[in-house]
Chain A
Amino acid sequence: MSAATPLTLSARNLIRRSGRRELVHGISLELRHGEVLGLLGHNGAGKSTTLQMIAGALTPHSGQIEICGFDLVRQPDQAKACIGFLPENPPLYRDMRVNDYLVFVARLRRVAPGRIADMLAQAMQRCGLQEVGPKIIGTLSKGYQQRVGIAQAIIHAPDIVILDEPTVGLDPAQIRDIRALIRELGDAHSVILSTHLLDEVESVCDRVEIMQDGRLIYSGSSDDMQQYGDGKMKLEEVYIRITENHVSEEQPQ
């Protein structure tokens, strides 16, 4: 990714505590237009907290987030209009119909009334929801609910799409479709996603950041990550080696 491509997201020194425990210690992230960034890490590494801070659902205790040039704290409305966010649990109103829900979200995100019908049709087509439009969300299967979750994140064509474990609960065919969708989104928007699945990183991400205990311990393209293991190891082994090396650096014997 060339340095000339505009920066869509820049987060500096994010710190978030829960009580006395620091969940996220000074994370800095940058994302350029048309880039797909994968956030890897064990459970409890602070991935979801970081994504929630970037999306504006949580306020960092210190640090600064700039989205498309807008400061998330000082100009929250402009900044948030550039974001589409899918949290770990898709924020679905289970008693609403898929169509009604997506229209509600589009209006909530200030899509111009004249464009709503187009945006709705586009998001539903991209997420393969055409057949379930009139159904009530609570009656859909987990996979379809996840797709509705993704549709609500992209319906207003945001500059940055933030996806927290987007392929959880999907069957292999759906996972393939969603990955293709993320790739497609990566062409016109910036995408940041968290995942445990290493083949997901390999197939969709341009760049990888690995988090452990609230810190970034590795940053590079997914090809770099291959080279870390001399090009012979599987990505999984590389990942385990990186995280284990980090632990031994932290606690010298």
Chain B
Amino acid sequence: MIRLIALKELRSLFAAPSTWLMLGALQFIFAWLFLVRLDAFLQVQAQLAQVANAPGATQAVAAPLFNVLALILMMLTPIFTMRLLAEERRNQTLALLLTAPISATHIVLGKFFGLLLFLALIIVSCTAMLLTLAAGTQLDLGLVLGNALGLLLLAAAYVALGLYISALTVQPMVAAVGALAALSGLWLVEISAAGSENNWQMIAPTSHFHNFNVGLLNSVDATYFLLFSIAFLLLTIRRVNNNRIYG
């Protein structure tokens, strides 16, 4: 049942022309940034060669681009999560799911994995673009894959939060703005707490992605992402169940 709903979400995403437009624009922007970054690296490469322990192409080109992709995901995810439940409630199609012999858990997980699969496609396509670096240099594959994994976990956290906010409202637009505000709020917490003594930045998903970004696989970060996602998924399931009680 989870798979059925996930595939339906995925199919309705790909049925909309706006999705393709967004995917195309994203690939274009990412390719452009890749080119700029690569160009800058090639210009300083000669000087870097004289430095001991200089950063390689993976570290100097790929890692910063993954960081950019993390920021892009932060702005992109709310646009996709806004529809998930808010639109079902507005179009009164949620009744179909609520009266079907499936539980709220199936509905929520189906929608979560449907969108996560879609974001995974974006992450995979951008990673594939960076892997073309292998044509000219030796890549640190571990760093690239670590980054991709980190991005996937980050996307899961963003989708879970966006899904919850989408469950709170009937207006998809409100859900989009709400999710964007929540995600950028968390990001701002990280930025403003960075460098100071306190540990506030630990609540921001972006700060946990940072370790993946520099090639550090820490179980604390992975656990954080899992807990973050599970917490918001549980809240969403609760909210969908409450839909039956409060109408």
- Using CB atoms and an 8 Å cutoff, list the residues of chain A in contact with chain B: 18, 52, 55-59, 76-81, 83, 85, 87, 89, 91-96, 100, 104-105, 107-110, 152
B44 at the interface (CB under 8 A from A): no
- Residue of A at shortest CB range from B100? A108
* Distance between Cα atoms of A81 and B101 in the complex (Å): 5
B51 at the interface (CB under 8 A from A): no
In terms of DSSP, what is the predominant structure of the interface of chain B? helix
Count of chain A to chain B residue pairs whose CB atoms are closer than 8 Å in the complex: 68
Contact with A along B89-102 (1 / 0, CB 8 A): 00111111111111
Q: Separation in Å of the A80 CB from the closest CB of chain B?
A: 4
Contacts of B15 in A (CB 8 A): 95-96
Among B16, B97, B98, residue most surrounded by chain A Cβ atoms (within 10 Å): B98
| 8 Å CB contact of A110 from B92, B101, B103, B247 | B101
Are B16 and A108 within 8 A (Cβ)?
Answer: no
Are B4 and A93 within 8 A (Cβ)?
Answer: no
* Distance between Cα atoms of A85 and B94 in the complex (Å): 12
Contacts of A94 in B (CB 8 A): 91
Task: Please report which residues of chain B, range 214-247, place their CB below 8 angstroms from some CB of chain A when the two chains form the complex.
Answer: 244-245, 247
| 8 Å CB contact of B12 from A87, A89, A93 | A93
* Distance between Cα atoms of A30 and B247 in the complex (Å): 24
Are A57 and B99 within 8 A (Cβ)?
Answer: yes
Q: Separation in Å of the A168 CB from the closest CB of chain B?
A: 14
- Residue of B at shortest CB range from A97? B15
Are A104 and B12 within 8 A (Cβ)?
Answer: no
Are B101 and A78 within 8 A (Cβ)?
Answer: yes
Q: Separation in Å of the A44 CB from the closest CB of chain B?
A: 15
* Distance between Cα atoms of A237 and B100 in the complex (Å): 39
B1 at the interface (CB under 8 A from A): yes
* Distance between Cα atoms of A92 and B95 in the complex (Å): 10
* Distance between Cα atoms of A166 and B5 in the complex (Å): 27
- Residue of B at shortest CB range from A94? B91
- Which 10 pairs between the two chains have the least Cβ-Cβ distance? A91-B96, A80-B101, A91-B93, A81-B101, A77-B101, A59-B244, A108-B100, A55-B99, A85-B99, A89-B92
* Distance between Cα atoms of A57 and B98 in the complex (Å): 5
Among B8, B95, B97, B244, residue most surrounded by chain A Cβ atoms (within 10 Å): B95
